[in-house]
Structure 1
Amino acid sequence: MPLSTNLDRVRGTLLGLAVGDALGAPLEGLSPQQIRAHYGTVVDYVDGVRAWKRKPYRWRLPGLYTDDTQQALALCDVILRCGTVDPDCLAALYLALATPRNGHAGAHRGVGRSFRQVLEELERGRPPLECGQDSAGIGAAMRIAPVAIAFFNDTDGLFEAVMAASLMTHRDIRSLAGAMAVVSAVRRLLGGEEKSPSLLFRVAGDVALAERRIAECLAHAVDSIPEYGRSLSRAIANVEPLLELSRADAHHALIDEANAHGARPSCKRPTMGFPPACIPTCLYVLLTTDTFEEALTEVVNLGGDADSAGAILGAMAGAHFGVDAIPERWLEGLHNRVGIERRAEALAVGPDAVLEIPDLVETERALSALEHSSRESFKAPPSPNAGSQFTPRTD
C-alpha cells in the first residue's frame, strides 16, 4: 500500500471508526422512533441525558467513543508492539483497562455481558484463545479494522491475525466470519477498489473462503459450523438485489435475511448486534449513500446497536472516502483524536514509525473518569438559580 497515496485513507479508517462509535453511543438500544422523539435527526454528537434519564449508566459523554474503539486501539497497540496479534499481549491489555484505580471502576466503557465474561475468564487465568463466548455477537467485527491496515499485503497473516483477535471473545462462526467481512471490505476500500455492487460479491467471496478455512482448521474450537457455516457470505451476497428497493423495503429484507441465519433473539432492526444483520446493513448503506456524513448519519439514526454499526460503517466509509471527507465538526469534537490519528499513521508506516503515541491505559482511564464525573454532575439537582444544563437540539 503506497504510503503517499493511502495515508489519508488509513487515517480515515481509524478516525471514521471512532467517530461512528461516538455518534452512535448515546443512541444504542433506541428505536428510530425514540431517536426522533428525543433528538430529531441526529447529525452531531449528543448527550444521553434526554433519552436515558432513568438509566444514567447508559449516558455517554458527547464525542466519547465506547469499548468498540477502545478494543480497536488495543489491537493497534498490540500489533505495533508485537508485529502481530499476540493473544497473551492483547489479553493483558484488556485486563489492564479493566483494573480499578483511584476508587473508580476500570476504563472499559459500555462493555456487554459477553465481554465481561471474557474478562472474568482471563482474570482466572484461562488461556486467551479458550475464552470465546458462544453467542453470535458483533464484537469481533466492530474492532477488527486495524488488522486490515497492518496486514494489507499479507493475506495469510491477515487470516491468522483476525482469528487471534476474535477467538478470544467469540467462537461462533458467524462472529468470526463477520470479522473477516469487515477486514475484507476495509482492505479492498483502502486499496482503492470501487464502491459499487461488485464490492459485495468480492467481499462475499473472501468471506466464503474464510468460512471454509475456519471449518477445515478450527472446527474443534468453533460453534455453529453445520448450521451457519455459510451464513455471512450468503447474507452479504444477498444485499445486491436490495439496492434498487425503497429504504423501508430494503430494511425489512435485511431483517428477514438476518432471521434466516438464526438471530437470537429474533432480529427486529437491521442494525441488531448480530453479524448477518449489522454487516450487510452497513454495506447496503455504504453503497446507497454518496458521502461519509450521509452514510454515518443514516446508520446511527437506525438505532439498535448504533455504536457498533457506526464503528463498522465508519471504518469502511473512512477507508473509501479518506479523512478529509469526515466533517471537521465531528473530528474536532472527538476525544483522543491525536492518539487515534498517531496509531493510524504508525500502522501505515510500519516498524520504522517514530511517533509519540499516548499510553492507552492512562488515556482511557482519564477519559472514563471524565465521563464519570460528567455523569455525576448530570445527576446532581440544579441550584434554584441555575438554568438548564442542556440546550434542547433543534436538528
Structure 2
Amino acid sequence: MTLDRARGSLLGLAIGDAMGAPTEGMTLPAIRERWGRVTGFLEEDAAGTDDTEYAVLCARGVLAAGSALTSQSVAATWTDALQHQSGGFHGAGFSEMIAIANLRAGLQPPQSGQRNAEMWSDGAAMRVAPIGIYAAGDPDLARRLAAADAEVSHSRDGVFCAQSVAAGVAVAMTADSVDPVIDAMVDALPTDSWSARLVRRALQIAEDAPDLLAAEEALFDQIPLRHYIWADVAPEAVALCVGLLRATNGGLDVIESGVNIGRDSDTIAAMGGAVAGALHGMSALSAAQVEQVRSVAGRCIAATRGTDLIDLADALVQRSITDRTGQEAAR
C-alpha cells in the first residue's frame, strides 16, 4: 500500500501539472467559454512542466541526504543538475530562475531565497511532495525537510506553504480520510501568517458551498489576489488547493477542479494531485494518464529527462524504510 500511495502522489502531481498547463493563467470563465470543462489532457504530447521536474530535483536531494537534508545539500543538488544547462529552462518560474542566478553568483541559502523578488511564490510548494512521501506519517519531519528545501529559493510564506504541502502529503500517505490531511496542512502554517488567513478563508468558502461547482466559483471569486500581475502567489495557490481538497472531500477530482479553476492551475492541480494521489494510490489513477506522464520530459530541466516517476517513488519509500530501520537500531 505504501508503494501504491507513493507512486500515486508523484503521478498525481504530474497528471495535474500536465492537465493544468494549458489553462495556466486563465480565468475560470475563460476556461469554461473555451472548453466547457477540462476533464483530460488537452494536448497529444501533454507532459509535466517545471512543477514535476523540480519535484524530481527535490526527490534527488532527499535520496542523497535522507533526514539529514539541509538547504546547503539541496543547493548542491541543484548546482549539480543545472551546472551544464546554460539555456532552455522552458516554463521555469521566476523564483527558481532568480535562485539559480543567486547560487551561480555565490550566494548560499538562506540568502539565495531571501534575495528573491518572488520569495513568496508557489515554486517551493509545488515541488515538495517527495519530502512528504519520505516522511510518511511524520508531518513534523516533513515540515523540517520542506523548510530546508524551500529556503534555497524562497522565504517567509513561500517556505510556509511548502511546509504545508509536504505535511499534507506525509499525513495523506497513512490517512484514511482527508480530514487529518487538511488539519496537518493548516497546522503547518503560522497562525498569524498571510497563508494561514487565506487558507482558513478558503476552507470556510468550501464548507459553505452547496456543491463542487459552486465551491469552485466562490473560491475563484474570493481568493485570488487580482491586484498582482502574476498568479503564482503561494498563499493564493495553496488556499485554492486546500479549499478544493475540502470541496472534493480529498477525492482525485481535485485535479480536475484545480485545472478548471484557472490562475496557477497547473500548480494548484499538481499540489492537489500529490495529496489526493497519496490518499488513494496509483491504482485509483487512470492507467492511460499514468503512462502519459510517467517518464519525465525534461523540457525545463534537461537533467531530469527520462526519469521514471514510479521508480523514483519506489526509491523514496526504500530510502525512508532504510533510514527508519537504521534509526531504530541505533536507539
Matched residue type, 2:131: V
Q: Which of 2, 20, 24 is the aligned partner of 2:20?
A: 24
With over 3 angstroms needed to count, the CA separation of the structure-2 counterparts of 1:180 and 1:105, relative to structure 1, is same
Q: Which residue of 2 aligns with 1:170?
A: 154
* Cα deviation, residue 254, structure 1: 6.2
Q: Structure 1 residue 129 and structure 2 residue 106: aligned?
A: no
Secondary structure of the residue aligned to 1:139 is: coil
Alignment of 1:374-389 (within 5 A): none
Asked which structure has the greater CA Rg, the reply is 1
Change (3 A) 1:35 1:140: same
Give the match for residue 280 of structure 2.
321
1:72 to 55, 80, 83: 55
Equivalent-residue separation in structure 2 for 1:202 and 1:99 (angstroms)? 36
Q: 2:256 aligns with which of 280, 286, 297?
A: 297
**If the length of structure 2 is used for normalisation, what is the TM-score?**
0.81
Answer yes or no: is 1:309 the counterpart of 2:259: no
Q: Is residue 185 of structure 2 the alignment partner of residue 203 of structure 1? A: yes
2:9 to 1, 13, 21: 13
- Whether the 8 Å contact between 1:78 and 1:89 is mirrored in structure 2 is yes
User: How much does 1:99 deviate?
Assistant: 4.8
Structure 1 spans left out of the alignment, 5+ residues: 48-60, 213-228, 354-395
1:274 counterpart = 2:233: yes
Cα deviations by residue, 1:288-344 (Å, 9 ceiling, x for unpaired)? 226855221121022211111111011011011111111122112215167111111
Amino acid at match of 1:67: D
- Identify, as 1 or 2, the structure richer in helix: 2
Structure-to-structure mapping, 1:323-342, within 5 angstroms: 323-336=282-295, 339-342=308-311
Q: What amino acid is aligned across from residue 346 of structure 1 in structure 2?
A: A
Q: Does 1:110 align with 2:91?
A: yes
Q: CA RMSD in A?
A: 2.9
The C-alpha deviation readout for 1:103-126, integer Å capped at 9, x for no partner, is x834x3311222211111111121
Q: Say if 1:352 and 1:180 are closer, same or farther in 2 by CA, change over 3 A.
A: closer
CA distance in 2, matches of 1:30, 1:258: 12
1:346 CA displacement: 1.0
AA partner of residue 184 (structure 1):
A
Q: Deviations over 1:263-300 (max 9, x none)?
A: 76189xxxx42232221221222232268552211210
Letter in 1 for 2:16: G
In structure 2, relative to structure 1, the CA distance for the partners of 1:40 and 1:250 (3 Å cut) is closer
Give distance in 2, aligned partners of 1:97 and 1:231: 33
- Whether the 8 Å contact between 1:190 and 1:320 is mirrored in structure 2 is yes
Secondary structure in structure 1 of the residue aligned to 2:124: helix
TM-score in terms of structure 1 length: 0.69
User: Structure 1 vs Structure 2: percent identity of aligned residues?
Assistant: 26
- Count of aligned pairs: 305
Match of 2:25, SS state, is: coil
